[in-house]
Amino acid sequence: MTASGYNAHVAVYLTQEQGEPAWLTSWWDRVQIPRQQTRESGEVCERALKARPRLILIDARGTASWEAQALGVCRRLKRDSYTSIVPVLVIASAEGLVPAFEAGADEVLHGNVGEEEAAARLSAMLRRSDRDTDTHPSTRLPGTREIEMELGRRVASGEKFAACYADLDHFKEFNDRYGYHHGDQVIRLLARILHDVVTGLCPEDGFVGHIGGDDFLYTIPLAAVPRVCDEVIRVFDELITLQYSEQDRRVGYFFGKDRRGQLHRVPLMTLSIGVVTNQRRHFTRATEVSELATEMKSYAKTLWGSVWAVDRRRDDAEGQLSARTSAESLRAGSGTRSAGGQS
């Protein structure tokens, strides 16, 4: 999935055509990223603003005036919040390595570097860029791109797994009463709980991602669902009350206004987790898992308190969702329930 305004398959190449290094030609052939080549420094920023490219290359070798012009382009790119996240490679002379880094370049190579070293450095630069642009600044957790890749990997592997969609209840009302700063603290608290519990109980097979806002998704082995979800909710229910004032905590609610401006009681926040597994289902795409996890999260939010709800429906003989659902509802710990899915 590509965000609007992001041209993930194009590189912009600023050069005076002073002879392309052999390592660059080899890398182009390997990665097959189309180039938009230009001799005009102004075009680089213009193209980067129109559609954020995958990569920008600046060949700063040549005269002192050309080097200053080329590095000026790098500075302008890195000063703009929209283009600063695009990785910039500068090809420099041996004397120009330090000035290029000082201009903000993400990687600097000289013309006669070895092909294998160049390929390793360029690939690492792109990996860093992908990681940094898909990481939420407040929680430091992977974002939607990494979540989609993780779900795709789980589906392709054929291993038994669970995708768990966690969402806060009554978060908006809390945010309205206490302000966005305290709201952000709650988001970071939930992120830390999910990360610590998942990595603590599933150190080799756990993954936690931040969809956005108060929505998170984590994947764990199928057998770990009860203990992980129970522990997440136990720790959350224990810590969330500390985010409220003593008065709100004591009575267990506060008065907030609805969209029509009328006062109503707002309970303390709870956590709803919708759980999807491939125990009875066969998935072929990551989107199938995410769509069903969203559905189960919505179902969990109709239940009282902090809960985790597991989808227990199964595919029929032709691989379609059976209309039958399990009606069982199991107590899975203090303040926690495992529901049978939607009827």
Between helices 180-201 and 171-178, what is the axis angle to 10°? 140
Q: Are residues 321 and 186 in the same domain?
A: yes
Q: Are residues 240 and 120 in the same domain?
A: no
Q: Are residues 126 and 157 in the same domain?
A: no
Q: Are residues 120 and 159 in the same domain?
A: no
Instruction: Report pLDDT for 332.
Output: 36
> Do 139 and 210 contact (CB within 8 A), yes or no?
yes
- Establish if 1 belongs to a structural domain: no
pLDDT, tens digit (0-9, with 9 covering 90-100), for 206-255: 999 999 999 999 999 999 999 999 999 999 999 999 999 999 999 998 88
- Establish if 139 belongs to a structural domain: no
- Establish if 250 belongs to a structural domain: yes
- Establish if 138 belongs to a structural domain: no
Instruction: Report pLDDT for 276.
Output: 97
Instruction: Report pLDDT for 68.
Output: 94
- Establish if 169 belongs to a structural domain: yes
Where does the chain show beta strands of DSSP type E? 6-14, 35-38, 52-59, 88-92, 107-110, 161-169, 207-212, 215-221, 253-257, 263-267, 270-277, 307-310, 329-333, 336-339
| Local confidence pLDDT in tens for the 343 residues of the chain | 333 333 456 899 999 877 889 999 998 888 888 889 999 988 998 888 887 888 999 999 999 999 999 999 999 999 887 788 889 999 998 888 999 999 999 999 988 889 999 999 998 998 887 777 767 778 888 888 889 999 999 999 999 999 999 999 999 999 999 999 999 999 999 999 999 999 999 998 999 999 999 999 999 999 999 999 999 999 999 999 999 999 999 999 888 877 677 788 999 999 999 999 999 999 999 999 999 999 999 999 999 999 999 998 887 654 555 433 333 333 333 344 444 443 2
Range of the domain at 55: 6-133
Q: What whole-number distance in Å separates Cα of residue 280 and Cα of residue 341?
A: 13
Q: Are residues 155 and 125 in the same domain?
A: no
Q: Are residues 259 and 163 in the same domain?
A: yes
CATH number for the domain that contains residue 41: 3.40.50.2300
Instruction: Report pLDDT for 316.
Output: 61
In degrees rounded to 5, what are phi and psi of residue 183?
-60, -40
> Do 123 and 115 contact (CB within 8 A), yes or no?
no
| Tally of domains in the chain | 2
Instruction: Report pLDDT for 145.
Output: 85
> Do 90 and 68 contact (CB within 8 A), yes or no?
no
Instruction: Report pLDDT for 49.
Output: 85
Q: What whole-number distance in Å separates Cα of residue 115 and Cα of residue 28?
A: 11
pTM of the model: 0.70
- Establish if 265 belongs to a structural domain: yes
- Establish if 287 belongs to a structural domain: yes
Q: Are residues 66 and 153 in the same domain?
A: no
Which of 240, 229, 225 lies closest to 188, judged by CA? 240
Query: Which of the listed residues 133, 162, 197 is the one where a domain comes to its end?
Result: 133
Instruction: Report pLDDT for 83.
Output: 85
CATH number for the domain that contains residue 301: 3.30.70.270
